[in-house]
Amino acid sequence: MAAVTLPAGYFEQMYDASPDPWSFRTRWYEQRKREVTLAALPRRRYARAFEPGCSIGLLTEGLARRCDWLLATDASATAVAAARRYHSERSERCELRIEHRALPDGWPREEAPFDLVVLSEIGYYFDDADLATVLDDAIGSLAPGGTLLVCHWRHRVADYPLAGDAVHGAVRARRVLHRAVCHDEVDFLLDVFTLGDVPSVAQDEGLAP
């Protein structure tokens, strides 16, 4: 039988078993990957950003430092509560909202356009049809020239409907997106796309023609 999108209950069980199921707070792997992710974003600042699957809010923290307005969401109510607690103790100069929403139905179309959408470690929880819907929504929500960052673990996880490489294959197949960054290592893939052809970082600063 074909694998279907993992339900919110799957993740609630993980948060019941551990407050930090992926050890975001303690693993060097996770800290380094967050730093690679943030370093790969081409713009210094973003006006309006969306981060679905924010978990307990660690990547959110780094994004908030670069965004004027950020909507972070998660399918797990426990994760949303933890992320809100974590961010109640911080004072980024970002207007940050953390909401309980499950994709694909909970895509915040009413808040679009975004100039940044971050799909980090979430695409492989969907089946093919739901991933296609999420990508339609991501592309449809991007402002012209906006950034779509996609990052996924590459090792197979039996419960997940898709492999990380398959998720990146599906995004790369969307011809409307221009790939600006491709970070390829044994453990994860990270791609940054822009909607339309935009100047490179060096071009933007007058360093390259």
Ligand X SMILES: C[S@@+](CC[C@H](N)C(=O)[O-])C[C@H]1O[C@@H](n2cnc3c(N)ncnc32)[C@H](O)[C@@H]1O
Q: Which residues form the interface with ligand X (CB under 6 A)?
A: 11, 22, 24, 52-55, 59, 74-76, 79, 102-103, 120-122, 125
Output 111 or 198, the one with its CB closest to ligand X.
Answer: 111
Taking the complex as a whole, the smallest distance from the CB of residue 194 to ligand X amounts, in Å, to 20
Taking the complex as a whole, the smallest distance from the CB of residue 66 to ligand X amounts, in Å, to 15
Find residue 70's DSSP bridge partners.
49, 96
Output 27 or 45, the one with its CB closest to ligand X.
Answer: 27
Q: Are 69 and 51 in contact (CB under 8 A)?
A: no
Q: What angle do CA 35, 25, 166 make, to 5 degrees?
A: 60
Output 129 or 202, the one with its CB closest to ligand X.
Answer: 129
> Which residue matches tokens 């996770």?
30
Q: What angle do CA 120, 197, 130 make, to 5 degrees?
A: 35
Closest CA to 71 of 86, 89, 84, 90: 84
Taking the complex as a whole, the smallest distance from the CB of residue 146 to ligand X amounts, in Å, to 18
Output 29 or 69, the one with its CB closest to ligand X.
Answer: 29
Output 80 or 177, the one with its CB closest to ligand X.
Answer: 80
Taking the complex as a whole, the smallest distance from the CB of residue 197 to ligand X amounts, in Å, to 27
Provide DSSP, 111-139: G--EEEEEEES-GGGS-HHHHHHHHHHHH
The residue at minimum Cβ distance from ligand X is: 53
Q: Are 87 and 98 in contact (CB under 8 A)?
A: yes
Taking the complex as a whole, the smallest distance from the CB of residue 172 to ligand X amounts, in Å, to 19
